[in-house]
Amino acid sequence: MVSSYSVAKLFVSLSKREASATWWEEYLPQMRRRTITILRLIQNVMGEVVCKTCAAFYLHANVFWGG
């Protein structure tokens, strides 16, 4: 849970910056890289889980139902 104190502290630190546009220009590429990295990690993990589930189902269908 984010406390109101930390939010206020963030706004104060942002207002102290001379140019907020410069801050966003620095911050957004970092955020984008982090988001892409996290999404790739989730995609890899989920892809592995889905592949294993599909393989197990395929084996089960072939063995038990003669498909």
Instruction: For 15-26, write each residue's pLDDT tens digit.
Output: 665 555 666 677
pLDDT at 15: 62
- Among the listed residues 14, 33, 36, 34, the one whose alpha carbon sits nearest the alpha carbon of residue 24: 14
Q: What is the pLDDT of residue 66?
A: 59
Its pTM surpasses 0.95: no
Q: Which residues contact 20 (CB under 8 A, 6 or more apart)?
A: 14
Domain-by-domain residue ranges, the chain? Answer: 17-65
Q: What percent of the chain has pLDDT over 70?
A: 64
Q: Give residue 43's pLDDT.
A: 80
The chain-wide mean pLDDT, for the chain, equals 73
Higher pLDDT pick, 7 / 40: 40
